[in-house]
Structure 1
Amino acid sequence: MNSKQQIASVFLNSIGASMNAIEKVNKGLINDTFLVEDDNNNLYILQQINTKVFKNPFDLSHNLLRLKACIELHNIKLLIPDYLSFEKKLIIQHNSTFWRMYPYIQGLVFEKSKNSEMSKAAAMALGRFHNLGEHMSIEEFKNPIENFTNFQFRLSNLRSARKVGVESRINQTVGFHSELINHLKIIEEYCSIERQVPKRLIHGDPKISNFIFDASEKSTLAIIDLDTIGQGSILYDFGDMVRSFSNRYNESTSVKNNTKVLNKEILQSLVDGYISSAGCFLTKLERNSLLLSAKAVSLVQCIRFYTDYLLGDTYYEIKDDDDNLLRAKNQYQLFCELKDVNLIL
């Protein structure tokens, strides 16, 4: 019996069940994820936490417990994973590895948004999630990844990667780098606004695959992958949602310069849906900066992929050598199209 089987059995035994089967799930770029079946054919998600990314895994359970307590105290209709516990702990440490497990939430998960209705429903759910922060002291939340939403930190990493990265990759992408730095004023503008808006509870990774939809595909059942919840600006979350939902292509898809990747209808539906549920607490500056956030987050994600490519692919999982460069160019194309968009706010 290997480690993952042992850990799954420990969690299941704590609820009087035993393991029947386990298989790897190709999900996400960070944690290793497995689908577990117990002896009653119930399904669970088991994850090994990537400690290269999450240096203090127990901070994740700290945040989850506070989020769950708030939802229960205020009877808020927002479904999140109900993690199993062993000896009152949500995370099991096995040698130098860390694991957690929760019942599989039945529903539909997508890698790309199918239509505006789906996108609007998810944006409304994100707004409801952000509204949780109005019911609690966000200072209680620990930021699980240092500098995760710090854009100046991302720029500093890029400058460093250009000096110490893989020489051949640096030399082959001089032109691409030059294009990127021509747009850094947008990041500077975002950072200036970020300093002026309130710190709120954020999800940190509101991509489409982190929303579970019902059979109608028009309503969300749950928000998952809560590792990155913490303190920050809702502008980051909204911008990242736009980055994920409004791109017609998977972020690893190679796109030609004349290929349009931005779905403007979905972009508008995200704005409409988010404002409909978050408008009650948004400041005027936050509301007026939603489109700017989409531009800035897309550009910074491009920079993150490009930086990892220069450093030899040390952060994001890859299958092919050029995956991170393809991801960076895909994000850059999305940014370029967002740059010229006008929205009804």
Structure 2
Amino acid sequence: MELNLDSEVLKAYGYTKENVNIKQIGSGLINRTYLLSPTSGEEKYILQNINTDVFKNPNAIANNLKAIADYLANHYPDYIFIKPVSTVNGEEMAHVHHEYWRMLPFVADSVSLDVLTEPKQAYEAAKQFGKLSRLLNNFDAKTLEPTIPGFHDLGLRYEQFTLALNQTSKQLKGLAKTEIDSALDHKYILDYYNSYTHRNDFPDRVMHHDTKISNVLLKAKTFEGICVIDLDTIMPGKFISDLGDMMRTYLCAFSENEPDLDKIKIRLPYFEAMVKGYLSEMKSTLTETEKELILFSGRYIIYMQALRFLTDFLNGNIYYPINYPEQNLDRAKNQFKLLSELSVNEKELQDIIEESLI
């Protein structure tokens, strides 16, 4: 396959197409990603294009990562933080023909999974996300810039839903009636969250915001955690963002693209592994309010994602890529079913949390 990679991008990092092998990799939908293997046998690198349709201020990403990398280097020098490699001109990114690129060191003997196949993987991944939050507990989150403003703002997502509901066609509203009713019925989740925001022990932290399994590196043979990757969305947020997103993506064997709702079940061993992995790092750092909201974090993020899929369907599928016209509606149904499964299993899930907090 011919790779359409501008030679000027390679030049910015001191390479040419003659002295490096290039292979496109990754399953991400946002950024184009390549593996660079210098022919001289040097260390390999990841070269990634930043999607400016999603990240409209790439400099915010670069500034955030530099500030965090400097802090960790000073306070926890042994921690593996995959910071960008500087260009030959000493810049954090390469800016070529109106596109932004960054180069990252490739971690040998590591694997990034697309699907969880055993609870140990959930434990190790959750532990890594928890570890990063713990190490950055004393870092001033206010010094970071939002790379996607309002990304996990449930209030904003509810406003967007109500706007779409008021503007959509009768046909789409009719097709989505059940899901619209569910979205309105679950507004109590937003109200419950707002009742906590005034508390002093519900702080803004440095959060990853996208804690799916593919965003952590594990050792290839043992699945032991190595480090967190894909750091574009590191910015200020509540602990709910990371733990809730893990619940949304780790607990069911099937993704949001599964239309058969009978398959949407919570795997208790994965929940237990995830909670224990996360709390093995964060138990002593979380406040009492945060501990109260551990299970709620799953409700918050799952409801928010259901709203986003439903909103996109009502808007005519303008944001999420689809393979058929009603896919975003099916995704919303999927997420509402997952949300209901949290309630069905609430006692068992809360018992696991209480046991893990001891």
TM-score (norm 1): 0.91
Question: Which residue in 2 is equivalent to 1:224?
Answer: 229
The 5-angstrom pairing of residues 142-153 of structure 1 reads: 142-153=145-156
Mapped to 1, the partners of 2:8 and 2:323 lie a distance apart of 27
Question: Which residue in 2 is equivalent to 1:55?
Answer: 56
Mapped to 1, the partners of 2:38 and 2:166 lie a distance apart of 51
The alpha-carbon deviation at position 316 of structure 1 amounts to: 2.7
Question: Which residue in 2 is equivalent to 1:273?
Answer: 277
The alpha-carbon deviation at position 48 of structure 1 amounts to: 1.9
> Which stretch of the first structure deviates more once superposed, 321-330 or 122-131?
321-330
How big is each residue's C-alpha offset from its partner over 1:223-277, in whole Å with a ceiling of 9 and x where there is no partner? 0111111111112211111111112112212223x33421111112212221221
Question: 3-state SS of the aligned residue for 1:13?
Answer: coil
Question: 3-state SS of the aligned residue for 1:335?
Answer: helix
Mapped to 2, the partners of 1:319 and 1:219 lie a distance apart of 35
Asked if 2 retains the 8 angstrom alpha-carbon contact of 1:18 and 1:38, the reply is yes
Mapped to 1, the partners of 2:155 and 2:187 lie a distance apart of 10
* CA separation of 1:293 and 1:37: change in aligned 2, threshold 3 A: same
Asked if 2 retains the 8 angstrom alpha-carbon contact of 1:295 and 1:339, the reply is no
Question: Which residue in 1 is equivalent to 2:46?
Answer: 45
* CA separation of 1:15 and 1:105: change in aligned 2, threshold 3 A: farther
Mapped to 2, the partners of 1:289 and 1:339 lie a distance apart of 14
Mapped to 1, the partners of 2:328 and 2:29 lie a distance apart of 11
* CA separation of 1:80 and 1:254: change in aligned 2, threshold 3 A: farther
Stretches of structure 2 that go unaligned for 5 or more consecutive residues are none
Asked if 1 retains the 8 angstrom alpha-carbon contact of 2:35 and 2:46, the reply is yes
Mapped to 2, the partners of 1:113 and 1:145 lie a distance apart of 27
Where does structure 1 differ by over 6 angstroms across 4 or more consecutive aligned residues?
A: 14-17
The alpha-carbon deviation at position 63 of structure 1 amounts to: 0.5
Asked if 2 retains the 8 angstrom alpha-carbon contact of 1:12 and 1:18, the reply is no
Find out whether 1:252 has 2:253 as its counterpart: no
Asked if 1 retains the 8 angstrom alpha-carbon contact of 2:216 and 2:227, the reply is yes
Mapped to 2, the partners of 1:14 and 1:138 lie a distance apart of 36
Find out whether 1:163 has 2:166 as its counterpart: yes
Question: 3-state SS of the aligned residue for 1:28?
Answer: coil
The alpha-carbon deviation at position 71 of structure 1 amounts to: 1.4
> Which stretch of the first structure deviates more once superposed, 312-321 or 228-237?
312-321
Letter in 2 for 1:170: K
The alpha-carbon deviation at position 166 of structure 1 amounts to: 6.2
The alpha-carbon deviation at position 188 of structure 1 amounts to: 1.8
The 5-angstrom pairing of residues 1-345 of structure 1 reads: 4-13=5-14, 18-23=19-24, 25-40=25-40, 43-86=44-87, 87-106=89-108, 107-165=110-168, 168-196=171-199, 197-256=202-261, 258-340=262-344, 341-342=346-347, 343=350, 344=352, 345=354
> Which stretch of the first structure deviates more once superposed, 198-207 or 246-255?
246-255
* CA separation of 1:14 and 1:244: change in aligned 2, threshold 3 A: same
The alpha-carbon deviation at position 333 of structure 1 amounts to: 1.5
Mapped to 1, the partners of 2:301 and 2:20 lie a distance apart of 41
* CA separation of 1:168 and 1:101: change in aligned 2, threshold 3 A: farther
Mapped to 1, the partners of 2:130 and 2:86 lie a distance apart of 29
Question: 3-state SS of the aligned residue for 2:136?
Answer: helix
> Would you say how many aligned residue pairs link Structure 1 and Structure 2?
343
Mapped to 2, the partners of 1:11 and 1:81 lie a distance apart of 19
Letter in 1 for 2:312: D
* CA separation of 1:185 and 1:172: change in aligned 2, threshold 3 A: same
> Which stretch of the first structure deviates more once superposed, 35-44 or 61-70?
35-44
The alpha-carbon deviation at position 122 of structure 1 amounts to: 1.6
Letter in 2 for 1:184: K
* CA separation of 1:307 and 1:46: change in aligned 2, threshold 3 A: farther
How big is each residue's C-alpha offset from its partner over 1:95-140, in whole Å with a ceiling of 9 and x where there is no partner? 3322212132231111222222221122221111111322322221
Question: 3-state SS of the aligned residue for 1:193?
Answer: coil
